[in-house]
Chain A
Amino acid sequence: MKIAISSGKGGTGKTTVASNLASYLADSMPVALIDLDVEEPNSGIFFKHELVHTEVKYKNVPDWLQDKCVPCDICKDVCNFNAIIRLGDQIIPFPQLCHSCYACVELCPEKALVMRQERIGVLNHYNENNLDFIESILDIGTEQPVPLISQTIKYTDNAINNDILKIYDTPPGTSCPVIEATKNVDLVLLVTEPTPFGLHDLKLSIEAMKELGRPIAVIINRYGIGNDETEKHCKDENIEIIAKIPNLRKIAELYSNGTIIYNKVDQFRIELDKVVNYIREHLK
């Protein structure tokens, strides 16, 4: 089973929920936490585990072999992303724009383009007892996070047994990185805060997850601030709110130090229990 912890708005507590949930569950069962927020991965801050595997990740982009090229423009014409231009008799590929579709390489009649690997980031796999933690970190300046997200999911599917619960910490938002991270999960838990910004972005997330056909439930974080519009909206939309994490300064302080919270703040653990129970029900 795969569960994504997601949100429309950033900073609502995705990582807080994901890291504590994984840590809490690992007290009693094997679990894997995968940080797919590759632009700004933060789950790792909460774990000081042993690194068991690390690998550099690449995407495939075309390289031009000048001596083989008989400029015919097919490569340039088939590229739908303007990632290849021609200047005189020079063909220039732009790796940042390339989506690795292989059309230019495979359709070149002279085989004058070949795929090479372009580094996009690094994947780390840590383990401690019941908990596997896998994160990927996008290289600074790399524009597209999606290939790294999809490769991280593939790595996890191979490295972690199918029976083990996998928790994805996703990027914020509703565009392509989030879709990549949630499109194949069994359940999406949307973390929000009860404010106008939180609600507005929650609505976008709900819409996106409906489009993907993913089952959803909501966790309200920093409960007590803002207003009750989020609760009303979820009720109207028939979406279950499975936990309300109170707005406590103690939680914010522990989080700020990169500390796991559930074993230090009872009110937090009580809400996390509700999440665990909901997941157990869903697992059946």
Chain B
Amino acid sequence: MKEIVIISGKGGTGKTSLTSSFTMLSGNDLIAADCDVDAPDMHLLLKPDLAKSYEFYSGELAVIDYDKCTSCGICMEVCRFDAFSIIDDLYKISKINCEGCAYCSYVCPEKAIEMVTQNVGKWYISNIKSGSQMVHAHLNVGAENSGKLVAKVKNEARRIAKETDKKYILVDGSPGIGCPVISSLTGADFVVIVTEPTASGIHDLKRVNDLVKRFNIKCSGIINKCDINPAACREIEDYFTAEGIHHLVSLSYDENFTKAMTEGKTIVEYDNGELYNKINNAWENITDLLQTKGESQ
């Protein structure tokens, strides 16, 4: 079983459209995992049935028991996150500012502050229209610990893939380089970076590739909207070569990305021409590369 992670650094490069297309192309060989738990969109194309749903608890918030509180103010003194304020002579805790460190709870002489575990979202195991399954999640707004929810989604996908003897896990990652992305990359076998030939796209590609290099994972790249700026596209191709990133495919700007999405379809269901062929070749390329890697070991 091989784990493939699709990331981009910059948002809006076409990561989710491509991940969903690969999921359809691989049919029953693959478990999909939507690890962009902050803004998950894969379900809009893959139509999961939400067969199983689970609550996700992570992190804590401090809550004051006013029957015990003597307003001594020690809690406010130790808090490093400006979570406390005094309103009408009562100490109040801002849910938004509380970091959940429990320092206040630990030092309160009256034991008047309880740490309450937070329900930060839900995660699901669904049947999807490719005939396989998908693990996905919904993070409550403003919730912390999205990295932990990413880890949960991935671990469940791994468990199911093992139990059902799948060849691949395909992970849709989130933009950026912070904790959810790091969590997505942990334990992966192969990375696909989806980029675009814009100044921002190149800047973000380099940063996310620098992160990938720390994990020592085999890396490949897809250039989307390549015709928007041919010079920038060549710059990316050169960067791929210099960095040993396997260039899977370049795709021209194509309104079919949006048209397919608007109909709730993946690109490979909507388009059966050149775009289909290119995406299909890219997927075959990925599976071949994973194969070669396996044989060489």
Contacts and interface: CB of A to CB of B under 8 A. Distances in A.
A and B bind? yes
B115 interface: yes
A39 B178 CA distance: 6
Interface stretch (A22-30, A86-94, A196-204, A275-283): A196-204
A62 interface: no
A196 B47 CA distance: 13
B39 A9 contact: yes
B135 to A, nearest CB: 18
Contacts of A256: 196-199, 201, 228-229, 232
Interface stretch (A126-134, A141-149, A156-164, A261-269): A141-149
Interface stretch (A49-57, A64-72, A102-110, A237-245): A102-110
A12 B12 CA distance: 7
Given A138-B177, A204-B39, A257-B199, A197 B147 contact: no
Interface stretch (B48-56, B159-167, B255-263, B268-276): B255-263
Chain A binding surface SS class: loop
Contacts of A8: 38-39
A207 B214 CA distance: 36
B182 A78 contact: no
A196 B264 contact: yes
B16 A140 contact: no
Given A40-B177, A42-B10, A225-B258, A9 B204 contact: no
Contact of A40 (B96, B146, B176, B225): B176
Interface in A246-279: 249, 252-253, 255-258
B103 A103 contact: yes
Which residue, B60, B97, B180, B262, has most C-beta atoms of chain A within 10 A? B262
Contacts, number: 181
Interface stretch (B26-34, B136-144, B239-247): B136-144
Interface string B1-42: 000000011111100100000000000000000000011010
Contacts of B143: 175-176
Interface string B163-181: 0000000000011111111
Nearest to B17: A197
Contacts of A204: 39, 141
Nearest to B37: A175
A145 B174 CA distance: 14
B176 to A, nearest CB: 4
Interface in A171-227: 171-179, 183, 195-197, 200-201, 204, 207-208, 211-212, 225-227
Nearest to A183: B96
B115 A80 contact: yes
Contacts of A174: 38-39, 139, 141-142
Given A39-B176, A40-B9, A40-B10, A195 B262 contact: yes
B119 interface: no
B78 A106 contact: yes
Contacts of B81: 101
A196 B261 contact: yes
Contacts of B107: 107
A39 B177 contact: yes
Given A196-B262, A200-B41, A204-B141, A40 B207 contact: yes
Interface string B62-97: 000000000000000010110000000000000011
Nearest to B60: A80
Given A42-B10, A256-B199, A143 B182 contact: yes
Given A138-B178, A174-B141, A197 B16 contact: yes
Contacts of B225: 252
B289 interface: no
A101 B103 contact: yes
Which of B78, B141, B175, B198 has the most C-beta atoms of chain A within 10 angstroms of its own C-beta?
A: B141
B110 interface: no
A22 to B, nearest CB: 16
Contacts of B211: 140-141
Contacts of B221: none
Contacts of A45: 199-200, 203
B116 interface: no
9 contacts: A40-B177, A42-B204, A78-B102, A138-B178, A143-B147, A175-B139, A176-B146, A256-B198, A256-B229
Given A8-B38, A177-B178, 15 more contacts: A9-B39, A10-B175, A11-B12, A40-B204, A81-B101, A100-B80, A101-B99, A141-B211, A143-B179, A145-B178, A173-B175, A175-B144, A207-B141, A252-B228, A257-B199
